[in-house]
């Protein structure tokens, strides 16, 4: 059987989910260089070839892992937007996102893998649209805010600050973080 017609396991199965979980854990703890089918199989205690029953290639596995992560994060954003205080809730999500190391690994992979790059772009643009929508709604009601600053700019600044805080914190940097967090938390609450 050719690889395009061979029987494949469902990616909705418990085993495929376990493989996706293992992928995330290995990326977080050991990095992309350690992510091999052998390493995943060892992590799960299964035969290496089982991975290829569920995923045609390692690239497919990595892509599905990112897609699963993005679905979770977009759901969290949508829940935040429907809350009573959407901007502080969005900030909490951005600053308490999935492990900063995992995000960094996926960004590095996106630089070399077209499928992951496209999925990352799609996720960033969709999450930014949700943030901009919430910001525009808040800005329309606000009398304490300069309306000349576009919501798109605020969304980018907020996300960038959250990413920088997460990356630095994962390295152990603390200087200035408490002040930045407090300032931005107050800003989102007032807006």
| Spatial distance between the Cα atoms of 101 and 67, rounded to a whole number of angstroms | 17
Please tell me the predicted confidence (pLDDT) of residue 185.
Answer: 92
Q: What is the pLDDT along the chain (191 residues), one digit of tens a residue?
A: 445 556 677 878 899 999 999 999 999 999 999 999 999 999 999 999 999 999 999 999 999 999 999 999 999 999 999 998 999 999 988 888 757 788 889 999 999 999 999 999 999 999 999 999 999 988 888 776 666 789 999 999 999 999 899 888 888 999 999 999 999 999 898 88
At residue 1, the pLDDT reads 45
Q: Which domains does the chain have, with CATH numbers?
A: 1-56 (1.10.10.60), 58-190 (1.10.357)
* DSSP H helices in the chain: 14-30, 37-44, 48-54, 58-81, 86-95, 100-110, 114-141, 151-171, 177-190
Give me the pLDDT at residue 2, please.
Answer: 47
Polymer length in residues for the chain: 191
Q: Which of 165, 97, 84 is nearest to 127 (CA)?
A: 97
State residue 123's pLDDT score: 94
Q: What is the pTM of this model?
A: 0.85
């Amino acid at each position: 059987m050719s690889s395009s017609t061979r029987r494949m396991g469902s990616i909705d199965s418990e085993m495929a989910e376990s493989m996706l979980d293992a992928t995330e854990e290995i990326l977080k703890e050991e990095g992309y260089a350690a992510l091999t089918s052998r390493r995943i199989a060892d992590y799960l205690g299964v035969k290496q070839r089982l991975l290829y029953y569920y995923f045609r290639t390692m690239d497919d596995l990595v892509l599905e892992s990112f897609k699963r992560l993005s679905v979770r994060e977009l759901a969290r954003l949508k829940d935040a937007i429907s809350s009573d205080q959407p901007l502080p809730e969005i900030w909490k999500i951005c600053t308490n996102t999935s492990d900063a190391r995992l995000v960094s690994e996926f960004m590095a992979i996106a630089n070399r893998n077209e499928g992951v790059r496209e999925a990352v772009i799609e996720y960033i643009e969709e999450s930014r649209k949700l943030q901009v929508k919430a910001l525009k709604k808040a800005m329309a009601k606000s009398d304490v805010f300069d309306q000349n600053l576009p919501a798109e700019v605020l969304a980018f600044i907020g996300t960038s600050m959250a990413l920088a805080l997460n990356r630095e914190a994962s390295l152990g940097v603390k200087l200035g973080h408490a002040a930045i967090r407090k300032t931005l938390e107050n800003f989102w609450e007032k807006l």
